[in-house]
Amino acid sequence: MEMNKSRALAEKQKKDLIPCFAKCLSSREHEAATAMQAIVRGKNARFQREELNRVEWFMFYMKARNFDKAKALAVTLEEFEAIADAQAPPSEEDEAAIKMQSVLRGKKTREELQEVARLEWFEYYKKTGDFDQALDMAISPDEEESVKKARQAAEAPQEVHLAATKVQARLRGHMTRTDQQEGARLEWLEYYKSMGQFELAREVCVTPDEEAEIIALELAAEKISAPKSHAGYLCNCFKTNVVSDTAK
């Protein structure tokens, strides 16, 4: 009987240990898988950076036509084929295309230089009054119109220029006279205020501030000129009456 109980207890403990062992094993496997994934991701990131750096240097050496160093960095069939194609002598068609491109670039450069020189001469002829030469240099309707306007301005009657000069002289004279008149007005205003001639000062004032200043000065002057009355003193008329009574 006791033996049967012991067996049953052992069987029960065995059944309890199996799920616990499986659980612990699963947790350890998960940790190991996570660590392995982190290692793989780090390795992939380093490989991507190294590969990007390799491709950049490979392209640099290809552009510099340093094919020995480019071969040392090449890893794909396409890269080796690109090196072989670059090292191969150009065909007649390629040479013709290269020459044509060179001719076109040279022509474009010459055209740009010629256009710069044309514009410089065009502006020079307009400024110096050589309008016929400027028209010969013009190639657009806008340039021709600008030459026509410059010619009309240069060929305008002399009277127009003289009239404009006279008008400008008159305006300058008027402004000068106005400045002189304003200076004289301010001088007279200060003079009348200093002399206490407020009516005359009011006639030459032109701004509200000037008029307010005159009123303030006038009030101050009235306060100063008003007679003072002190306790214990008699007015003049009363003093006169007292003296006459005493004499009697």
Say if residue 163 is in the same domain as residue 209. Answer: yes
List of residues 6+ apart from 38 with CB closer than 8 A: none
Classify residue 190: in a domain, yes or no: yes
Q: Report pLDDT for 183.
A: 87
Classify residue 240: in a domain, yes or no: no
Say if residue 114 is in the same domain as residue 65. Answer: no
Handedness of CA 94, 97, 103, 108 (dihedral sign): negative
Q: How far apart are CA 139 and CA 122, in angstroms?
A: 10
> What string of H, E and C letters represents the secondary structure of 135-147?
HHHCCCHHHHHHH
Q: In the chain, how many domains are there? A: 3
Say if residue 20 is in the same domain as residue 52. Answer: yes
Classify residue 127: in a domain, yes or no: yes
Say if residue 182 is in the same domain as residue 208. Answer: yes
Domain boundary among 39, 54, 89: 89
Classify residue 235: in a domain, yes or no: no
Q: How far apart are CA 165 and CA 207, in angstroms?
A: 35
Classify residue 47: in a domain, yes or no: yes
Question: 207-246 burial string, b = 16+ CB within 10 Å, else e?
Answer: eeebeeebeeeeeeeeeeeeeeeeeeeeeeeeeeeeeeee
The tens-digit pLDDT sequence of the chain (248 residues) is 556 666 666 676 666 655 665 566 567 777 777 778 888 788 888 889 999 999 999 999 999 989 999 999 999 999 999 999 888 877 777 778 878 888 888 888 888 889 999 999 999 999 998 999 999 989 999 999 999 999 888 877 655 666 667 777 777 776 777 888 888 999 999 999 999 898 998 898 888 899 899 899 988 888 887 655 444 444 455 444 444 454 44
Q: Can you give the pTM of this predicted structure?
A: 0.30
Classify residue 7: in a domain, yes or no: no
Q: How far apart are CA 206 and CA 186, in angstroms?
A: 10
Classify residue 241: in a domain, yes or no: no
Say if residue 179 is in the same domain as residue 168. Answer: yes
Say if residue 110 is in the same domain as residue 70. Answer: no
Say if residue 118 is in the same domain as residue 144. Answer: yes
Say if residue 17 is in the same domain as residue 80. Answer: yes
Phi, psi (degrees; rounded to nearest 5) at 163: -65, -45
Classify residue 207: in a domain, yes or no: yes
Say if residue 70 is in the same domain as residue 28. Answer: yes
Tell me which residue range forms the domain holding 107.
102-155
Q: How far apart are CA 3 and CA 91, in angstroms?
A: 99
Domain boundary among 89, 115, 146: 89
Say if residue 150 is in the same domain as residue 171. Answer: no
Say if residue 23 is in the same domain as residue 78. Answer: yes
Q: Report pLDDT for 82.
A: 92
